[in-house]
Amino acid sequence: MGISLPGAIAAKLIHPENRVMAITGDGGFMMNSQELETAVRLKLNIVVMILNDSSYGLIKWKQKDRFNESFCVDFTNPDFVMLAEAMHAKGFRVESTEHLIETLEEAFRCEGPAVIDCPVDYSENEKLSMHLREVMDRYRI
Ligand SMILES: Cc1ncc(C[n+]2csc(CCOP(=O)(O)OP(=O)(O)O)c2C)c(N)n1
């Protein structure tokens, strides 16, 4: 956790000719969000997409899978668009699935770092767990 933004900065410094995008959970982004300042100062054209579920989604998924409930994994987030703009980066919000590609293209056209707030529904993972359990039961794995 926390590596995606600094990792993207390092990748862009080493390969400036390549397009670089960090994909990070909201919890992971908030661990090192101050590094946006580095990306702005170095004028790095990187895109940071934040998968926003206002929780430590992976841990919540595991807790629910094992204990049928979750504990101490939900939190509130800043407005990521406003946070990006306050740090002199560009901020975007994905409003619908259809809107994702055009938002990405616009973010990659920006000068300097761009942050995309992308809401996600982690409950899809619980459906995946149920499906996997059915498959394992069926084949007695
Ligand atoms: C430094 C560090 N602390 C804790 C963990 C354990 N951990 C793995 S995933 C995770 C939650 C990640 O939450 P988030 O970044 O919001 O992503 P999501 O799971 O919601 O997609 C945690 C706490 C870790 N991998 N690294």
Q: Is the pLDDT of residue 126 over 90?
A: no
Element (H, E) at 51: strand 46-52
pLDDT at 123: 85
- Average confidence score pLDDT of the chain: 96
Number of CB atoms found within 10 A of residue 130's CB: 11
* C-alpha 24 – ligand 1 centre gap (Å): 10
* Residue 28 CA, closest ligand 1 atom number: 15
Residue span of the structural domain in which 57 resides = 4-138
pLDDT at 51: 98
* C-alpha 28 – ligand 1 centre gap (Å): 6
**Are 50 and 118 spatial neighbours (Cβ–Cβ below 8 Å)?**
yes
Reported as a pLDDT band with limits 50, 70 and 90, residue 132 is: very high
Q: Which pLDDT tens digit goes with each residue over 99-118? A: 999 999 999 999 999 999 99
Q: Which pLDDT tens digit goes with each residue over 21-67? A: 999 999 999 999 999 999 999 999 999 999 999 999 999 999 999 99
Determine if residue 112 is left, alpha or beta; phi over 0 gives left, psi from -120 to 50 gives alpha, anything else beta: left
Q: Is the pLDDT of residue 122 over 90?
A: no
* Residue 24 CA, closest ligand 1 atom number: 15
Alpha helix stretches (DSSP H) within 1-141: 4-14, 26-31, 36-41, 57-67, 80-86, 100-108, 123-138
Q: Whose CA is nearest to atom 18 of ligand 1?
A: 57
Q: Which of 84-88, 90-94, 97-101, 119-123 has the lowest mean pLDDT?
A: 119-123
Cβ-count burial of 43 within 10 angstroms (0-12 exposed, 13-18 middle, 19+ buried)? exposed
Q: List 9's β-bridge partners, or say none.
A: none
Identify the CATH number of the domain in which residue 47 sits. Answer: 3.40.50.970
Contacts by 73-78, CB closer than 8 A, 24 or more apart: 75/27, 77/26, 77/30, 77/52
Total domains in the chain come to 1
pLDDT at 136: 94
pLDDT at 25: 98
**Are 28 and 57 spatial neighbours (Cβ–Cβ below 8 Å)?**
no
Q: Which residues line ligand 1 (CB under 6 A)?
A: 1-2, 25-28, 51, 53, 55-59
Q: Is the pLDDT of residue 131 over 90?
A: yes
* Residue 30 CA, closest ligand 1 atom number: 15
* C-alpha 106 – ligand 1 centre gap (Å): 28
